[in-house]
Amino acid sequence: MINIKNKWKPFAIALLVIIVIVGMQQIYWMGKIDIDSKEMWNNREINHNVEESEESWSVNYNYKNNTETNLKGSIDTPPCFEVYTNETIEIGVFSEMDGIVYTETLYGKTKLVIDGLPITVNGDLCNEFKQGEIVYISVKLNESVIITEDNITVYQQSWEAERNDVKLTSHIDRWFYLAELLIFVIGIYLTIEKYPHRNKVWKDTWNIARFEFNSEIKTNRTMILIIFFTLFITGMGWLLGDLQKEGSPILGSVQTPEDAITRLSWFTFFVVSLAAIAVSSDNIYKEKQSNTISLLLSRPVSKESIILGKGIGLTGAIGAPAFIAMFIGLILMIKGGETPRILAIGGYMILGIMMILTIVFLQLCFSIIARSGAESVVYGLGVWLLLTLVWSLIILAAAFVLGIDVTTENFEHNEEYQSVVAKMGLFNPGIVYQFGVGLAGERTLSVDLEGVTGWMVIWAIIFWPMFYWRLAVWLFKEERYL
């Protein structure tokens, strides 16, 4: 019999190699980047001097002038809204926000805000870059003295760059990403190859999955759940289509079709996760009560196959009708609004099934440790409430502990708070699903989703179903739970 440590050795080695590659990726960027844009912006000095005969402003970054410097960060605002025109700036006015005097020479240029630092780019970047994309850029700090029409003297330092100096970090990162993905796939493949009788394992898994699917899809409970989430998803799809045309005073407006499908993914998770938890909450407990679990364990079937088969079968029982409901809701949304990117549509449909699988494996863990039917139901309801409603309260508590003032007006727009929300979201399968759909609507993985990078989302999508499956297997192997 092959030792379990020996089975998982290729996968463990693959993870270690991936960690080394991630470290090399960070070292590469540390060597390439000269300044921290956020720190540079926060440490700038703005002085306002008023004398009897003269008023002056000075903006100083305490950095060397006319020296080519590299920085890296995410784009804070949509470049299309930051192109200087005669309609967006008032000539001769000093802007304390941008740290420059508006002149006609700015027409046609773009203010690119990188992690708070405004950079004047010589060119229109409206159709080249989007908000949230991570870029690296070669800039120079120029100094000038300008006297405004109001006889105000401005000693200004401003960061400037040429249009071709702005590049997506994905041009570099994609090679690291591909290497990491390749190593991960090789690790999975070699781990599967280590398993003895793997053909039998797959056959057993399929037979269990088919049995669970056929048993659950016919129950009254599942049929009621299907009707419930189908009506909800299709209704929300129709509403989000209308909101693209005309906003609501309560729900607001939807700016883009990608924004609409990302919102639809959250509503989908809200109802489908409840259905997934409902069908799996007492699955194993019922078999323990009827003693059919003993008959199953007496057969030459691995416990990995049992848990995996149950997970796939229950996912199919909810996932198949959910897929149809999602498709109908998507059609209604597109009919009422615009069509999202094909990748966003694919992400919404496929990642939705991944989300259901993750929730099913998570709930199977609780079903294994439940000592009674009531306890099993309480666990299931508790998990759903935690992931959908209570999660925001946990985030508020975490933000408060980290020293973020959550009592001020519009605190939810605070940059530090948004970072806490995003990073904690990686631990919630529903938010990971929403992130994944949003990422599929982007053109690159090098994008900052409120403090979370695209690649972190990819790893979360892969990690959580595998983690909950292995946790369920471990619990299932513990005799005290059977």
Query: For position 85, which CATH number holds?
Result: 2.40.50
Total domains in the chain come to: 2
> Tens of pLDDT along 338-350?
899 999 999 999 9
Rounded-to-integer distance, Cα 213 and Cα 284, Å: 14
What is the per-residue pLDDT for 2? 44
- Domain co-membership, 130 together with 222: no
Residue 352 domain-assigned? yes
In the chain, helix, strand, coil percent, each to 5? 60, 15, 25
Note whether residue 203 is domain-resident.
yes
Q: Is the domain of 337 the same as that of 441? A: yes
pLDDT digits (tens, 9 = 90+) for 178-196: 999 999 999 988 888 877 7
Domain carrying residue 163: 36-168
Q: Judge if 293 and 431 occupy the same domain.
A: yes
Based on the domain organization, do 217 and 158 belong to the same domain?
Answer: no
**For position 482, what pLDDT does the model report?**
60
Q: Given phi > 0 = left and psi -120 to 50 = alpha, else beta, which region is 374? A: alpha
Neighbouring residues of 255: CB distance < 8 A, sequence distance ≥ 6: none
Whether 291 and 418 map to the same domain: the answer is: yes
339 and 416 together in one domain: yes
pLDDT of residue 344: 93
Note whether residue 380 is domain-resident: yes
How much is the pLDDT for 149? 72
The Cα–Cα gap between 126 and 119 comes to 15
- 451 touches 418 (CB < 8 A): yes
Q: Are residues 153 and 240 in the same domain?
A: no
> Do 156 and 267 sit in the same domain of this protein?
no
How far is the C-alpha of 25 from the C-alpha of 419, rounded, in Å?
Answer: 22
DSSP labels for 355-412? HHHHHHHHHHHHHHH-SSHHHHHHHHHHHHHIIIIIHHHHHHHHHHHTT---SSTTGG
The pTM for the full model equals 0.85
pLDDT at 343: 92
Does residue 114 sit in the same domain as residue 254? no
Query: Do 7 and 194 contact (CB within 8 A), yes or no?
Result: yes
Co-location of 405 and 280 in the same domain: yes
> Which phi and psi (to 5°) does residue 451 adopt?
100, -5
List, for the chain, all residue ranges whose pLDDT scores fall below the cut of 70: 1-5, 52-53, 247-253, 479-482
* Nearest Cα to Cα of residue 9 among 257, 264, 193, 143: 193
pLDDT of residue 236: 92
**Is 349 domain-assigned?**
yes
**Model pLDDT, residue 479:** 64
Shared domain for 145 and 209, answered yes or no, is: no
Assess whether 462 and 318 both reside in one domain: yes
